[in-house]
Amino acid sequence: MDSKKLFSPEKGICYLHFAILLFILIPNLSVAQMDSLPGHNDKAVLLHSKIMGEDRTLWIHLPDDYHTTSNTYPVLYLLDGEGHFSYASEMVRFLSGYDRNRIPAMIVVGIVNVDRGRDFTPIHPQKNGMTDSSAVVPSAGAGRFLRYIEQEVLPYVDAHYRVQPYRVLAGHSLGGLFAFYAKEAKPDLFPATILISPAINGVNDRMLAEFGPFLKQTRAANQKLFIGIGHEGTDKVDSITAQLKQIAPKWMGWDYRKYDEENHFSVPYKTLFDGLKFIYKDWFIDFYGNEGRSYQDIDAHFKQLSAEFGYPIHPGEVFLNSCGYNQLRANHLQNAIGIFAENVRQHPDSFNAYDSLGEAYMKSGNTALAILNYKKSLELNPHNDSGREMLKKLEANEK
C-alpha cells in the first residue's frame, strides 16, 4: 500500500505556554517532569542541578513515531532553548518527513536560560593582577555551565530517552560563543556544532588563537562545524574560517554562510536550517526520481551513513515503502519486488509491507505470490479493505 494512502499529513504544532503547566515530582531523581502536552510529543523537565546550585529546565521534543516504534535518535541541543525550541522542533519535523528525507528524525532538547550572560561567558582566572586568558575557571561562567551539560544534562537525556551517540549543539550570539568554547574544550561531547553569529569579543580572542592548534590535533570521530552570520561585523568569524581554509583536517567537515539579507537577530532560522542540511548533506535519497535503484543501492547508502556518523543506521519501513513505489511506478519491477521483500523481512509484523509486496507481484504477473502476500497482510490487519478487494479480484481471476 502506498505510504501516501496510509499516512495522513502531519498536523501543525501549537505550543502552549509552559508556565501554566503542572510540574510533577519524580521521587529519588531530584527531577520534576511535565506530562506530555496534548497533541504533540513535547514536554518540559525541571532538574535540580547540584553543579549550578539551582533548578534548571529542559524543553524536550520527541519525534512523531517515538511512542509507536523502538527507534533510536540523534539529539539536537539548543542553547537559549526558550527562544529557539518552537521553530527548531518544527524544522526538524519538516526536514525529516518521509517525503523530504533531508535529515533523520531527531530528539530536540532546549536548554532554558536562567542567566545567559553568567553561563555562556568564559571566566578567566587572575594571575598577578592580570587576566590569564589561557585558562577558564571551571567553577564559574562557561566552565561551570559546560560541566552542568556534560555531567547532568547529557546523562539525564541519555538515561531517559532512546538516543544514538550523535549530538548536535546549536548556539546563537553568546550561545555561539559558548558553543565555540565547548567545541575546543570538549569536542567529543558534540560531534556537530552550529555557530550562529557567535558573540566573540576581545577578552575571548585567545580561543581564536587556540583554534589552529586544536585543528592540528588528531580526532577519532568525524567532526562537523557550520557557521552562519547576518549582516554584521565578521572579523571574528573571518578568523575562524581563515584557519579552517588553511588547515582544516579530514576529520573536520565545515561550511560557512553569510546572510546579508538578515541581521543578528533574524539569522538563526536560516542558519539552523542550512546547518542541519549541511551536517546531513549525504543523507538524502531522491526516491521520487526515475533512476533504477535496487535494495543493494539503498543498503550501500546507509552503510556509508553508518560509517560517517559512527553508529548503525538503517532505512525505515516508510522510507523503504516509498522507494519501492518509486521503482514500481517507473516499471522497474524487479527493483520494486526486491525492496518490498526486504521491507517484509525487516518488518514482518507490518501489514502494509506485505500489501505493497503483493501489489508488486501482481503487477509483475505473479498472481500466486500476490495472493500469498495479500493474505498475510489481511492476517495482520483484517481491516485492510483495499487489500481484501484486491485479493477477491486475484482469486476470481484464478478460477
The CA distance from 335 to 328, in Å, is: 8
At which of 279, 312, 329 does a domain end?
Answer: 279
Lowest mean pLDDT among 54-58, 136-140, 230-234: 136-140
| Confidence category of residue 202, pLDDT binned at 50, 70, 90 | confident
Which residue range forms the structural domain that includes residue 384? 295-398
Does 389 lie in the same domain as 271? no
Determine the pLDDT at residue 15: 31
Q: Is the pLDDT of residue 331 over 80?
A: yes
C-alpha dihedral (360, 364, 368, 372), degrees to nearest 10? -10
- Residue 285 in domain: no
Determine the pLDDT at residue 184: 93
SS (H, E, C) 127-153: ECCEECCCCCCCCCHHHHHHHHHHHHH
**Mean pLDDT to the nearest integer, 340-349:** 97
Q: Is the pLDDT of residue 37 over 50?
A: no
Q: Name every residue whose Cβ is closer than 8 Å to that of residue 156 and which is 6 or more positions away in sequence.
A: 31, 45, 47, 58
Does 151 lie in the same domain as 195? yes
pLDDT in tens, 7-30: 433 333 333 333 323 232 333 334
- Residue 289 in domain: no
Grid coordinates standing for 225?
Answer: 562545524
| Confidence category of residue 201, pLDDT binned at 50, 70, 90 | confident
Does 30 lie in the same domain as 95? yes
Which CATH number do you get for residue 338? 1.25.40.10
The CA distance from 100 to 239, in Å, is: 35
Distance of CA 52 to the CA centre of its chain: 27
| Confidence category of residue 3, pLDDT binned at 50, 70, 90 | low
Lowest mean pLDDT among 46-50, 133-137, 189-193: 133-137
- Residue 263 in domain: yes
Look at 168 and 206; give whichever has higher pLDDT. 168
Which among 341, 384, 366 has a CA at the least distance from the CA of 375? 384
- Residue 49 in domain: yes
How many structural domains is the chain composed of? 2
- DSSP 3-state percent helix, strand, coil across the chain (nearest 5): 45, 15, 40
Give the other-Cβ count within 10 Å of 216's Cβ.
9
| Confidence category of residue 359, pLDDT binned at 50, 70, 90 | very high
Percentage above 70 pLDDT, the chain: 89
Determine the pLDDT at residue 309: 95
Does 24 lie in the same domain as 132? yes
- Residue 287 in domain: no
Does 372 lie in the same domain as 272? no
pLDDT in tens, 141-175: 999 999 999 999 999 999 999 999 999 999 999 99
Determine the pLDDT at residue 85: 95
Q: Tell me the whole-structure pTM to 2 decimals.
A: 0.87
- Residue 100 in domain: yes
- Residue 389 in domain: yes
Q: Is the pLDDT of residue 75 over 70?
A: yes
Backbone phi, psi, residue 384, to 5°: -80, 80
Residue type, 182: A
> CA–CA distance from 247 to each of 73, 74, 214, 228, 325 (Å)?
32, 29, 10, 20, 45
Does 262 lie in the same domain as 313? no
- Residue 238 in domain: yes
Q: Is the pLDDT of residue 96 over 90?
A: yes
| Confidence category of residue 311, pLDDT binned at 50, 70, 90 | very high
Determine the pLDDT at residue 399: 67
At which of 223, 245, 279 does a domain end?
Answer: 279
Helix 205-215 × helix 174-185 angle, to 10°: 40
pLDDT in tens, 237-271: 999 999 999 999 989 999 999 999 999 999 999 99
